[in-house]
Chain A
């Protein structure tokens, strides 16, 4: 396991270097002098001089890149031009909000997606399967920001059951926090549930045809036990991998969900940064998500090995 992890991390290094080159290269896409753009509208000569010094913009590009990466490795992703806070602090501040949204969404996705997938595979070809597939396909086709808007219209505007927007930290008021986050988490969760259901269904279909399931049935085991103890347990291997890889979808969905429900998280941070031309924040977020995504990939591989010991041979 340790050698496996070490090897995976070694392979990830060139990828991370490439990501950093992409992210660094983005600022070169800006038309005109990046410093003039980054310095904002006031174009304070002091700020411009500071930025030129900081990013060594008078040096050749490889030196600029090396400086930038050197700073990034030490946790210095630059300073937000808008709030004057270090980018890393800003990200760390917003992250718990998005994590709460993501965890709640994932719980909703798992409780809907996995049972629906199991049922649909078990009842393959019946109306249950057909209905589950239609619902899943619709879930994949409905833009989740529209679903969010429609839910606000129904649940908040017409029924007045849940607040339409805002955020309360968990530590402030636990129940109110969960309540405010419920609708956004539902919107994000249902989108993921559709993907999860489809993967669960195909994994279960494969497992249900296997010899050990037939054996379990032949020896008179109850259907529920066969389904849960034999079939689902084995189908879980690919499901766990998919769930880890849903991370990207989760983050992208969070950007839109946070925008609709005005939740001050990670996603709102990047969108606001784009509109404020706060480029260091945009770069910092892309770099962080890239590295986090690779870490999730390695975790997914590791989980796959733990769940499936045959892989270690």
Chain B
């Protein structure tokens, strides 16, 4: 049997091969997988509950009993890190889902219909883009009230314009392709044309953007919780842990160390994975 030439390999297998050959993408994938596993397995892991206080072990440095040390009211920092991973990942994924579910249809309609609709949606997008991500999220959290749910809504709305823009640009370029032209020529209706021909073809760049936006959203959630506008205590979140830790820097520096390392690693994971996906999905260099 002769090997199939590179250019004839199916796009999907080419994608996997390129992704697997990229060490930083693999590192990113492993980091993401690790945190997802930890977050899912949180109830099964042999650690004290995240809200269990031990007044005999207040602000104790890392030891065999408490691997990551304890916080200002004797809670196990490792346990709060593990449960905090749930809040971070949930916030990252849910807010990006909100942004994708609202943003992509708007972008597709905008690029598909052009004209008036496009102008209106574009102005709307610009107006949303005009408020910096965090300022918009802070303002929304202020008016909606501080909670993890509202932080996710605020981050999702703030992240939406990017997806409108990408979906719009991609739709416009796909619309000029021959297969879309011919599908229209044989009289396919709008909805089947969009779901069968346009959506599958604009999916790759949206997947890349979504992966990278999860990274931004996790930082945004941590920032909001750090400011006291996200996850409310005593529920654990890396951002709010840092907020408390700031007051005990001299006595208990480990309290500030772990949440930061956690955020850094999970965000790095999504960034590496997103960059890797972009390279693997790029049709230009095979």
Min distance, Cβ B192 to any Cβ of chain A, angstroms: 33
Nearest-neighbor residue (CB-CB) of B119 within chain A: A14
A150 lies within 8 A of B260 (CB): yes
Min distance, Cβ B184 to any Cβ of chain A, angstroms: 31
How many angstroms between the C-alpha atoms of A120 and B191 in the bound complex?
Answer: 47
Residue interface mask B244-279, A partner, CB < 8 A = 1:
011001100100110110011001100110010000
A256 lies within 8 A of B271 (CB): no
Asked whether any CB of chain B lies closer than 8 Å to the CB of A64, the reply is no
Q: Which of A40-48, A85-93, A217-225, A245-253 contacts B (4 or more CB under 8 A)?
A: A245-253
Could you tell me the dominant secondary structure of chain B's interface residues? helix
Q: Which of B130, B135, B260, B272 contacts A15 (CB 8 A)?
A: B130
A146 lies within 8 A of B259 (CB): yes
Residue interface mask B138-164, A partner, CB < 8 A = 1:
111111110000000000000000000
Min distance, Cβ B245 to any Cβ of chain A, angstroms: 7
Determine which residue in A15, A146, A149, A277 has the highest number of CB atoms from chain B within 10 A of its CB, and name it.
A146
Residues of A within 8 A of B215 (CB): 140-141
Given A18-B123, A29-B144, A146-B242, check contact A289 B132 (CB 8 Å).
Answer: yes
Residues of B within 8 A of A15 (CB): 123, 126-127, 130
Q: Which of A26, A146, A152, A275 contacts B139 (CB 8 A)?
A: A26
How many angstroms between the C-alpha atoms of A285 and B260 in the bound complex?
Answer: 29
Asked whether any CB of chain B lies closer than 8 Å to the CB of A19, the reply is yes
How many angstroms between the C-alpha atoms of A204 and B190 in the bound complex?
Answer: 43
Interface size on B, residues (CB 8 A): 46
How many angstroms between the C-alpha atoms of A181 and B141 in the bound complex?
Answer: 29
Q: Which of B66-74, B201-209, B219-227 contacts A (4 or more CB under 8 A)?
A: B219-227
Residues of A within 8 A of B142 (CB): 273-274, 277, 279, 282
Residues of B within 8 A of A96 (CB): none
Min distance, Cβ B267 to any Cβ of chain A, angstroms: 4
A289 lies within 8 A of B131 (CB): yes
Nearest-neighbor residue (CB-CB) of B260 within chain A: A146
Tell me the B residues contacting A by CB distance below 8 Å: 123-124, 126-136, 138-145, 215, 219, 222-223, 226-229, 242, 245-246, 249-250, 253, 256-257, 259-260, 263-264, 267-268, 271-272, 275
Tell me the A residues contacting B by CB distance below 8 Å: 14-16, 18-19, 22, 26-27, 29-31, 137-138, 140-143, 145-147, 149-150, 152-153, 157, 247-249, 251-252, 255-256, 259-260, 270-271, 273-275, 277, 279, 282-283, 285-286, 289-291, 293-294
